């Protein structure tokens, strides 16, 4: 299938074989997904047209029956029996067509929801850390779950009822001239007034449905934030205060929903229906009194006008669903279209990494904020061990995250093996660099799966060897199910030292050319520290290692120590050199 245009914007990760949607607007986006299932849409349209046409057959046949009853022709019973059989047969066929319409609409709605979830998930994985650091998780979850579901409901029953009601609307206009050309006037006037009323209704409803979706996202964000920090809430005995705050967000959501209900309650077409039905009836009776039409025609015409009841009553609900769905689509699309400053660079350099690293006059800041790193310049040869030290907030973690392009520099260059990291294939770059952070993230999966996360094809022997190297094998075997033990989300069932040793095992298994340890042994007890130090020393042999640490033993072990102060390199050299010439380093060293 030919790919549609996609909004410009870089992405860290894409699936090239996936269908590309048109992201230039919510309606275009939904249509680009829908047109993939044109054959189902065709079934739905045929079902909708046939359903409306056969619904119109009933009042016309009833009108014929009235003419038969009021006439003096022989064989009335037989003629009425034929009319009755035609009504029954037409409604059987109509039921089948209605089933096709409803089934087609529901099938497309479910396929749309599946496809949009796939696209959104892939897009979120492709966003940079700068995006994820700024976007509230609760709001992302609201868009990925409730808003995507709203798009499903927009199509079924929303669009399904809109298409069905549109076909019901045109039937009186098409069939009324069969009895008298003047009878077109009332249906035509109703359709015009109905469209104008719908335009006004949707114009007023659209910003309110957007507000409803936004308020729901805010409420969900608040809930997610509190649950994520539940330990802090309980530790500070702030449950009552947080409940009051959540009620405030829930009230905002409720108020927005009430405003939507207020607009729906003032739906003008409900009044128009009553007026038009009365006007149409009087018009038909006037023509009957002038002998322009038969009594059967009057009955059939009034019955045709009753077809307006369906579009009038369902449009109150259907167009509200459509408006909510478009508002939800706009929110999902807004999330996907947010620019990512990093690109995958699929055609970039992807050779085997040796491990040399150089910073060339690097400057970096988060967004429009204060510069975090200023004119950073240094070089590291393959296999060197580098310790980065400095006060909290000096920019240590930010510096190492520029190496694997978690963030991109504002100016200057970061080179790995003499190649600017922006010229590397991003996947190839990151597969050969392993970062172990202080805040270890473990998945709610087995111990084996967590260790093998970076290398899912690793054998059990390799996993065990990595765990032994990280001094994790012994405590793993104490678990009831050993390596098949499922750990809680984020590893909450493990101690800090256990989590960090599993993270070390995960890094050892990937055999990276560059290993970055961001204060990764801070939670390890002194009894385990010597074993871990030896494990890290062995793991670092033959590969470039960056260590952010406050532990003297690890600092002394480094070939090069970089002292950062307020985003600048205060000094660098060996431990002995810095002790001799740097008063700032001596102060840090004295506190250790």
DSSP code at position 14: -
Span 28-86, pLDDT tens digits: 999 999 988 999 999 999 999 999 999 999 999 999 998 888 877 777 888 889 989 99
What distances in angstroms separate CA 385 from CA 438, 530, 537, one per listed residue?
19, 18, 9
In three-state secondary structure terms, 433 is: strand
Span 421-467, pLDDT tens digits: 999 998 889 889 988 877 777 888 888 998 888 888 889 999 998 88
Q: What is the pLDDT of residue 14?
A: 59
Span 322-359, pLDDT tens digits: 888 898 899 899 888 876 666 777 888 888 999 999 99
User: Chain-wide mean pLDDT for the chain?
Assistant: 84
Distance CA 36, CA 1 (A): 9
Q: Find the range with the poorest average confidence among 57-61, 268-272, 376-380, 546-550.
A: 268-272
Q: Could you give all domains of the chain from N- to C-terminal order, each with its CATH number?
A: 26-337 (1.20.1560.10), 357-591 (3.40.50.300)
Span 142-187, pLDDT tens digits: 888 888 998 999 988 889 999 988 899 999 999 999 999 999 999 9
What does DSSP say about strands 568-573 and 560-565: parallel, antiparallel, or unpaired?
antiparallel
Q: Could you tell me the pTM of the whole model?
A: 0.72
Confidence of residue 18 (pLDDT cuts 50, 70, 90): low
CB atoms within 10 A of CB 124: 17
CB atoms within 10 A of CB 369: 7
Distance CA 405, CA 12 (A): 10
For 16-39, b where at least 16 C-beta lie within 10 A, e where not — what string? eeeebbbbeebeebbebbbebbee
What distances in angstroms separate CA 89 from CA 55, 83, 332, 408, 445, one per listed residue?
12, 10, 46, 70, 58
């Amino acid at each position: 299938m030919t790919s549609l245009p996609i909004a410009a914007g870089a992405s860290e990760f894409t699936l090239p074989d996936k269908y590309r949607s048109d992201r230039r607007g919510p309606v275009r986006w939904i249509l680009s997904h829908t047109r993939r299932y044109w054959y189902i849409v065709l079934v739905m349209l045929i079902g909708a047209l046939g359903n409306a046409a056969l619904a119109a057959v009933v009042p016309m046949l009833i009108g014929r029956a009235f003419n038969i009853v009021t006439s003096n022709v022989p064989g009335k019973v037989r003629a009425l029996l034929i009319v009755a059989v035609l009504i029954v047969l037409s409604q059987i066929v109509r039921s089948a067509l209605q089933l096709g319409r409803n089934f087609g609409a529901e099938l497309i709605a479910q396929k749309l929801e599946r496809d949009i979830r796939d696209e959104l998930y892939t897009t979120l994985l492709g966003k940079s850390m700068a995006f994820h650091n700024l976007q509230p998780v609760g709001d992302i979850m609201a868009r990925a779950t409730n808003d995507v579901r709203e798009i499903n409901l927009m199509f079924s029953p929303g669009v399904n009822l809109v298409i069905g009601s549109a076909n019901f609307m045109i039937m009186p206009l098409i069939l009324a001239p069969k009895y008298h050309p003047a009878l077109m006037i009332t249906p035509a006037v109703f359709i015009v007034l109905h469209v104008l009323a719908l335009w006004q209704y949707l114009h007023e409803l659209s910003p309110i449905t957007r507000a409803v979706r936004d308020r729901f996202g805010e409420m969900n964000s608040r809930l997610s934030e509190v649950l994520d920090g539940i330990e802090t809430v309980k530790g500070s005995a702030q449950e009552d205060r947080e409940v009051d705050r959540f009620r405030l967000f829930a009230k905002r959501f409720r108020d927005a929903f009430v405003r939507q209900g207020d607009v729906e309650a003032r739906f003008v077409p409900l009044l128009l229906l009553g007026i038009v039905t009365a006007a149409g009836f009087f018009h038909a009776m006037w023509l009957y009194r002038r002998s322009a039409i038969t009594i059967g025609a009057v009955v059939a015409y009034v019955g045709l006008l009753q077809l307006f009841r369906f579009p009038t009553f369902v449009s109150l609900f259907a167009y509200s669903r459509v408006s909510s769905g478009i508002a939800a689509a706009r929110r999902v699309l807004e999330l996907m279209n947010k620019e990512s400053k990093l690109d995958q660079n699929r055609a970039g350099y992807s050779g085997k990494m040796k491990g040399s690293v150089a910073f060339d006059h690097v400057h970096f800041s988060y967004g429009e904020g204060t510069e975090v790193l200023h004119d950073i310049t240094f070089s590291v040869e393959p296999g060197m061990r580098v310790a980065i030290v400095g006060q909290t907030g000096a920019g240590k973690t930010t510096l190492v995250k520029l190496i694997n392009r978690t963030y991109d520099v504002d100016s200057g260059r970061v080179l790995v093996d003499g190649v600017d990291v922006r010229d590397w294939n991003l996947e190839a770059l990151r597969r050969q660099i392993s970062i172990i952070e202080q805040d270890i993230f473990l998945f709610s999966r087995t111990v084996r799966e967590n260790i093998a996360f970076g290398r899912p094809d690793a054998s059990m022997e390799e996993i065990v060897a990595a765990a032994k190297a990280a001094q994790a094998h012994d405590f793993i075997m104490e678990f009831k199910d050993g390596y098949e033990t499922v750990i809680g989300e984020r590893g909450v069932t493990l101690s800090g030292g256990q989590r960090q040793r599993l993270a070390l095992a995960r890094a050892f298994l990937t055999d990276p050319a560059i290993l970055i340890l961001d204060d990764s042994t801070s939670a390890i007890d002194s009894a385990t520290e010597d074993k871990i130090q030896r494990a890290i020393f062995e793991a670092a042999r033959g590969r470039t290692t960056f260590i952010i640490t406050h532990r003297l033993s690890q600092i002394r072990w480094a070939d090069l120590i970089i002292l950062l102060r307020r985003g600048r390199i205060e000094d660098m050299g060996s431990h002995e050199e810095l002790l001799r010439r740097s008063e700032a380093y001596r102060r840090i060293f004295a506190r250790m």
